[in-house]
Structure 1
């Protein structure tokens, strides 16, 4: 066997009909390496004047990673960051002890409409980094290693694969790689990419042995074995994983931590931030100060 588990998506409506396929966390498989949350959104067609808008909300104890295949998202955060992410680039926001951000439709796409398609993942910070200062780094598409392996285009988003290393800095062993096959191709995923790794199919179809993974399926791979994957024409997929985390993580709404007391404190602090219009831990987002996502009950 080369597959230890297949995870099928659960559909979630995040509001206004915006549907996502949620893969992680899964009740029987909480994480793959540091990846504790994995959402696949779109493709969703927005007509002119129709928008994707996620109001300002907080995070702790994780890094959010946004990667787009189509469309654009305007990211603003409490550090003062204000930029648009487009396909092939990576937004890497480290929440640490606390950050607030919003994700909205950029003005051009708001006027003209767009097709939005991408992945939003969370990677847990190591215990000794959970209270670090928040940071944001944008990595443009041309800074990420991209090359061919057996007729498959490989882009290294984080970590090292096929001797190519991403510029993304993360304080834990991690692997995050995008794959694209324009024709039917077979690529062998090396067993030494990471101790824990999974293949997720974004478009098309991938075959591992006798198992076929279509859109929205994640195949969690056996450790330390090379895994041949046959990709159908037009298939896009990602590999995610890394070293196992040093302890389980608790997830409560947008908060991730190894310590339940830290999550309880963050919940209380977010309520206080909304009431005060921002606090030292959870400041308002410059240019997006008028709306907040309330703490769920």
Structure 2
């Protein structure tokens, strides 16, 4: 799990120690992501499965993609499909992935890079491994997060951000036991490069065996911690977590994560977690397949616009896939 790292964490800026008046956030739930398949058949863990959308707001959906070691000819992606009403954030830890969309966005990402696509009013896009990776096979591991847009911004112009690994803000815990990669938002006074419509923070943290992170967190944000690798505990009450577990935190100012002193041989370097949270939008959510809107009428309009070709044209030719092929769960209006 290389992403981006440094040899000496003590040379990095440090997140501040929480103040004496800071309130630790208690863990309200720990769930386990079920496994499934996405797109053309690559394995995923559905990180938010079984969690009430109101606890996730402003997030809608998150998949951990892999970790999988592909044999030659096995790497898979997704066919062309539409989106409207939200943003997708694809962060790659291992491997290579290519993005292309009908609005002109696109590029190739590898270890530690991020593709941030604002679907907004709508577009078509495709994500796939490059041909050379299909031929050679290799390790693939990353995640994709869906960030909701408020009603006033759902029809904003599409936008694409290509965030290189070297652009993320690197921080350490006060004792140098934790490396934090800030992809978006402000953490301890340090901002990540991702430009967000909805106020959020997104961090990939690596904790050395036995290390503890007490991270100051905005009180008006919700707080989620997903374990990508290794094992440890969350909260000051030390709820155990391991690969595939999502912890939801309650109100407060401080998120606590602690790595077990002994990790298995596969995760000898420590415990990896995604820490994310944002300002809840608190609007009705109507989501089905590739569209995230506010009500059923807007969903119907999105389908009609897609069928009429108003979400864009595939650059390489006329071939299109049906929206039913987009393998994402829908949600009822809240």
Give the drift of 1:110.
Answer: 1.8
What CA deviation, in whole Å up to 9, does each residue of 1:201-246 have, x standing for no partner?
0000121233111111110012114232212352110111111113
Paired position in structure 2 for 1:218: 246
Query: Which residue of the partner structure matches residue 72 of structure 2?
Result: 48
Alpha-carbon distance, 1:28 to partner = 3.1
Deviates more, 1:226-235 or 1:156-165: 226-235
Asked if the contact 1:41/1:119 (under 8 Å) is kept, the reply is: yes
When structure 1 is superposed on structure 2, of 29-38 and 236-245 the one drifting more is 29-38
1:64 is matched with 88
Q: CA deviation at 1:16?
A: 5.2
Answer 1 or 2: which has greater strand percent.
1
Over 3 Å counting, the alpha-carbon distance change for 1:89 and 1:193 in structure 2 is farther
Partner of 2:102: 78
Question: Which consecutive residues of structure 2, in runs of 5 or more, have no partner in the other structure?
Answer: 1-24, 261-268, 326-334
2:299 is the counterpart of 1:257: no
1:43 shift after superposition: 0.8
Match of 1:286 among 315, 320, 323: 315
Structure 2 equivalent of residue 184 of structure 1: 210
1:131 counterpart residue number? 155
In 2, the alpha carbon distance for the partners of 1:263 and 1:82 equals 26
Deviation at residue 47 of structure 1 after TM alignment: 1.6
The correspondence of residues 134-149 of structure 1 with structure 2, limited to 5 A, is 134-149=158-173
Residues 12-31 of structure 1 mapped to structure 2, 5 A cutoff: 12-14=36-38, 17-24=41-48, 26=50, 28-31=52-55
Relative to structure 1, the CA distance from residue 31 to residue 253 in structure 2 (aligned partners, 3 Å threshold; closer, same or farther) is farther
Alpha-carbon separation, structure 1, partners of 2:99 and 2:49? 24
Contact 2:39/2:77, CA 8 A, preserved across alignment = no
**Are 1:5 and 1:219, in contact at CA under 8 Å, matched by a contact in 2?**
yes
Instruction: Indicate conservation of the 8 Å contact 2:34/2:46, yes or no.
Output: yes
Counterpart mapping for 1:83-122 below 5 A: 83-122=107-146
Q: TM-score, normalising length from structure 1?
A: 0.91
Comparing 58-67 with 184-193, which one deviates more in the overlay?
Answer: 184-193
Q: Does 1:173 align with 2:233?
A: no
Kept in 1: contact 2:225–2:273 (CA 8 A): yes
Contact 1:2 1:225 (C-alpha < 8 Å) held by counterparts: no
1:12-33 CA-to-partner distances (Å, cap 9, x unmatched) read: 2226542211122535345524
The verdict on how the C-alpha distance between 1:222 and 1:118 changes in structure 2, with shifts beyond 3 A counting, is same
Question: Is the CA contact (8 Å cut-off) linking 2:34 and 2:49 kept in structure 1?
Answer: no
Question: What SS does the aligned partner of 1:296 have?
Answer: helix
Deviation at 1:173, TM superposition (A): 1.6
RMSD value over aligned CA atoms?
1.9
Number of residue pairs the alignment of both structures matches? 289
For the residues of structure 2 that align with 1:133 and 1:295, how far apart are their CA atoms? Answer: 21
Quick one: which of 181, 189, 201 aligns to 1:163?
A: 189
**Kept in 2: contact 1:67–1:119 (CA 8 A):** yes
Q: Kindly indicate whether the alpha-carbon contact (under 8 Å) linking 1:59 and 1:100 is maintained by their aligned counterparts in 2.
A: yes
User: Do the aligned partners of 1:196 and 1:243 also contact (CA within 8 Å) in 2?
Assistant: yes
Where does residue 275 of structure 1 map in the other structure?
A: none
Name the stretch that deviates more: 127-136 or 243-252: 243-252
Is residue 154 from structure 1 mapped to residue 180 from structure 2 by the alignment? yes
Q: Hey, what's the Cα distance between the residues in 1 that align with 2:220 and 2:239?
A: 21
Q: Give the TM-score of the pair, scaled to structure 2.
A: 0.81
Q: Secondary structure at the match of 2:112?
A: coil
Distance in 1 (alpha carbons) for counterparts of 2:140 and 2:108: 13
